[in-house]
Amino acid sequence: MKRLIYIFIPAVILVILGIIGYIYIEKWNFVTSLYMTVVTLTTTGFIDAQHLNKEGQVFTVFLLGSGFFILAFTVAMLSKVIIEGELEQLFGRKKVEKKLKNMKSHSIICGYGKMGKIIAKDFSAKNHPFIVIEKDEKICDELNEAGYMYVKGDAKNNDALIKAGIERASSIIPVIDDAGNLFITITARCLNSKINIIAKINEEENRSKFMQVGANKVISPFAISGTKIVRSVLNPTIEDFHEITSGNNNFEFQMAELIIGSNSSLQGKSIAESKISKYGVIIVGLKKKNGTISFPPESTTLIEDGDILISIGKKKGIDKLILESK
């Protein structure tokens, strides 16, 4: 947009100079001066040269010559902007399509409204791969400017979900209206039986419906906000601690999940033997493959392949521990 403004600035300046010139030289009024400037620059016709004094004739020649140069400049720059924009869009979309084909274990955000923007921003801050499905063209322009991967289409449509790589995705997050989110949940479960579906609801009465059709988690922003407010009033210190470990702040501390891989050096050791505390990290919970969770786990608890350790500590320590858990 700025480039287009810069392109037309010389033409606007020349029109203003033409008006001022005729007013000063020929003593014409504004309308007549504007008319003469326009017909001169557009070469649509001239008044009889005898009606101009010598200074006016010289000024008209200057105005006409300048108009040709500026017209050529404007056309050339506009062509450049159009060609570059089309090429950039063409190669940009091809690059995106190539990235989409190679994406895996990513998250799909269905809808880029208020909730979708927050999720995308946090995912981006945490370097978590994601793609947004959005049908509104203007909002797609916003996604493009933000540098986010996106698919233009309706998330309720199979084609859009397939383009977003739902078969390879680890999770999908429908954040539009309840009816749309429910339909997306059903479709997503059909296309990928193992995908983690986290659905947003506006009406609490719809929670059971989402669980019945395959959602792993159903989240109500209103319920969470209400709980957060109550906790801030009744247990402000606990809420402060939650804020510190949530990652939505500038504190060094955070809470993280560590998934133990088959080649992890922690596998086969007890929590005490693993000496995780050397990283400045505390294990507050442990989830086994069978789904059992212990808060907190005993120091003698054996760490096994597929276990999930829930930890709290400084970011540097957690980053090191993540590498050791793989």
Domain ranges in the chain are: 2-97, 103-224, 237-325
Query: Do 300 and 271 touch, CB atoms closer than 8 A?
Result: yes
User: Are both 103-224 and 237-325 of the same fold?
Assistant: no
CATH topology of domain 237-325: Alpha-Beta Plaits (3.30.70)
Query: Do 254 and 311 touch, CB atoms closer than 8 A?
Result: no
Per-residue pLDDT, 49: 47
- Read off the pLDDT of each residue in 248-273 and give the average, rounded to a whole number: 80
- Read off the pLDDT of each residue in 243-269 and give the average, rounded to a whole number: 77
Q: Architecture of domain 103-224 in CATH?
A: 3-Layer(aba) Sandwich (3.40)
Per-residue pLDDT, 219: 94
Per-residue pLDDT, 139: 93
User: Long-range contacts: 37-46, Cβ < 8 Å, 24+?
Assistant: 37/63, 40/64, 40/67, 41/14, 41/15, 41/67, 41/71, 43/67
pLDDT at 239 over 80: yes
What the block records as the tokens of 206 is: 């719809």
pLDDT tens track for 132-179: 999 998 998 899 888 898 999 999 999 999 999 999 999 999 999 999
Stronger pLDDT, 5 or 233, i.e. the higher one: 233
CATH topology of domain 2-97: Helix Hairpins (1.10.287)
pLDDT tens track for 261-280: 888 888 888 888 888 888 88
- Which amino acid is present at 165? G
3-state secondary structure the chain: CHHHHHHHHHHHHHHHHHHHHHHHHHCCCHHHHHHHHHHHHHCCCCCCHHHCCHHHHHHHHHHHHHHHHHHHHHHHHHHHHHHHHHHHHHHHHHHHHHHHHHCCCCEEEECCCHHHHHHHHHHHHCCCCEEEEECCHHHHHHHHHHCCCEEECCCCCHHHHHHCCCCCCCEEEECCCHHHHHHHHHHHHHHCCCCEEEEECCCHHHHHHHHHCCCCEEECHHHHHHHHHHHHHHCHHHHHHHHHHHCCCCCCEEEEEEECCCCCCCCCCEHHHHCHHHHCEEEEEEECCCCCEECCCCCCCECCCCCEEEEEEEHHHHHHHHHHHC
Stronger pLDDT, 89 or 138, i.e. the higher one: 138
Which of the residue ranges 124-128, 156-160, 201-205 would you say has the lowest mean pLDDT?
124-128
Stronger pLDDT, 112 or 241, i.e. the higher one: 112
Mean pLDDT of the chain: 85
- Read off the pLDDT of each residue in 313-326 and give the average, rounded to a whole number: 82
Per-residue pLDDT, 153: 92
pLDDT at 46 over 80: no
pLDDT tens track for 16-28: 988 898 888 888 8
What pTM value is reported for the model? 0.64
